[in-house]
Amino acid sequence: MSEESLISCDLDFDQDGKQFGNLAVPQSTNSAGWAVSYIPLFVVKNGEGPTAVLFGGNHGDEYEGPVTLMNLARQLTPDQIAGRVIIVPMLNRPAVAAGTRLSPIDGVNMNRAYPGRRNDSITGMIAHFVSTRILPLADFVIDIHSGGSSMHMVPSVNMHDLGETDQMRRMLDAGRAWGAPYVFIYEDVAGEGLLPSLAERMGKVTLGTEMGSKAQFGVETLKITARGVRNVLHWAEILREPPGDRGVENPVFVAADDARDYIMSPSSGILEPLVELGDEVDSGQPVAQLHSLEHPDLAPEPVLSANRGIIVSRRSIPLTTQGECIAVTARAFQPCPGAR
Ligand SMILES: [Zn+2]
């Protein structure tokens, strides 16, 4: 059976110049037996050179990516670059339109759907196209995220720890070049199938981000995002001119490399945070307390940090269900030898 994608694309990835078009994802719905769902994308190409692929809207309730990449796609012209930039500002456009993390069509998390399948529900079909048609073209992959509706985050560029490899050295260099306050090394604690994980396994220099949250969305987080994308494109020798403002020169490198850094709620209730982003905590220190909806006469239940570290993320929704992530601690990370 053919593994070729069922999605059609009206762009030629090899053509010089600037193109705007769509992926057309076949859909058959109650209101239209024959339909397509469009995922917009841009290709800007100027001769030989490396390829960067930029994704926004992997999660629908994280808008730093869509805004930054739509602005960039409109501004970027072929003469400003050497090589190719592929821009997908709303990878999960149905979720972006609905303001939800997951797809409203099939309920799937786009960032757990990789590598996807040819004949899957809509999210898996898009993931399959990205895996088989877009990522193989890339030298550099940027996947822009934030904490969305549920988490506040320190503005960071992130990646997994790939050990002392040349790929990791380049990723750390790219992470430093972004100019964000933090470079954050993370672990997968909520499943597999992430787009950045696949790109890393394919050997691409891959950067994710956590640029803030729905509540933090604003001038500052957008500035860090827009400046960072241009900084990394310049670092990758694709964009000829660097942005005038390079941002933070010496970011704080931190790692949350122990599963216990991701503090999950022991009970359900109303969450009262006791620490803020950037605070230092000791092991055993309460980071929040939970007030019972059923037993308001009882003392709130403390939620303790397992590890010593700084708070790089905390839950932003007061109502909390048992098992949801409340906060994340991280410790200083020593970039491997060879990283500048
Ligand atoms: Zn996300």
Q: Please give the full DSSP string across 77-130, using - where no structure is assigned.
A: -GGGBSEEEEEETTTTHHHHHHT-SS-TTT---GGG--S--TTSSHHHHHHHHI
Verify that 34 and 136 share a domain, yes or no: yes
Q: What's the CA gap between 120 and 104, in Å, rounded?
A: 15
Out of 218, 236, 255, a domain closes at 255
Q: End-to-end CA distance of the chain: give it in Å, rounded.
A: 47
> Do 269 and 148 share a structural domain?
no
Report the number of secondary-structure helices (H) and strands (E) in the chain. 6, 19
Q: How far is the CA of 11 from the centre of ligand 1 (A)?
A: 27
Q: Which residues are in the CB-under-5-Å shell of ion ligand 1?
A: 59, 62, 145
Q: Is residue 339 assigned to a domain?
A: no
Structural domains in the chain (count):
2
Q: Is residue 309 part of a domain?
A: yes
CA–CA separation, 281 and 307 (whole Å)? 8
Q: Which of 210, 233, 255 is the last residue of a domain?
A: 255
Question: Are 247 and 193 within one domain?
Answer: yes
Single residue among 224, 255, 286 that ends a domain in this structure: 255
Domain range for 318: 259-332
Cα(319) to centroid(ligand 1), Å? 20
* Distance between Cα 16 and ligand 1 center (Å): 32
Question: What is the Å distance from ligand 1's center to 114 Cα?
Answer: 14
For residue 96, report the distance from its CA to the centre of ligand 1, in Å. Answer: 11
Q: Burial code of 69-83, b = ≥16 C-beta within 10 A, e = fewer?
A: bbebbeebebebbbb
Residue 61, domain member (yes or no): yes
Question: Quick one: 291 and 191 in the same domain?
Answer: no
How remote is the CA of residue 109 from the centroid of ligand 1, in Å?
9
Q: What is the pLDDT of residue 219?
A: 96
CATH number of the domain bearing residue 279:
2.40.50.100
* 97 and 182 both lie in a single domain: yes
Per residue of the chain (340 residues), what is the pLDDT tens digit? 578 999 999 999 999 999 999 999 999 999 999 999 999 999 999 999 999 999 999 999 999 999 999 999 999 999 999 999 999 999 999 999 999 999 999 999 999 999 999 999 999 999 999 999 999 999 999 999 999 999 999 999 999 999 999 999 999 999 999 999 999 999 888 889 999 999 999 999 999 999 988 889 999 999 999 999 999 999 999 999 998 899 999 999 999 999 999 999 999 999 999 999 999 999 999 999 999 999 999 999 999 999 999 999 999 999 999 999 999 999 999 876 544 4
Q: Is residue 121 part of a domain?
A: yes
233 lies in some domain: yes
What integer pLDDT is reported at residue 194 of this predicted model?
97
The answer to whether residues 33 and 149 belong to one domain is yes
Instruction: Based on the fold, state whether residues 117 and 214 are members of the same structural domain.
Output: yes
Residue 214 Cα to ligand 1 midpoint, Å, equals 11
Q: For residue 325, list its beta bridge partners.
A: 264
Residue 133 φ then ψ, to 5°: -115, -30
pLDDT score for 339 = 47
Same domain, 61 and 73: yes
Residue 337 forms part of a structural domain: no
Residues 247 and 263 in one domain: no
Residues 103 and 130 in one domain: yes
- Residue 42: count of CB within 10 angstroms of its CB: 21
Residues 34 and 66 in one domain: yes
DSSP 8-state code for residue 134:
I
Same domain, residue pair 182 and 35: yes
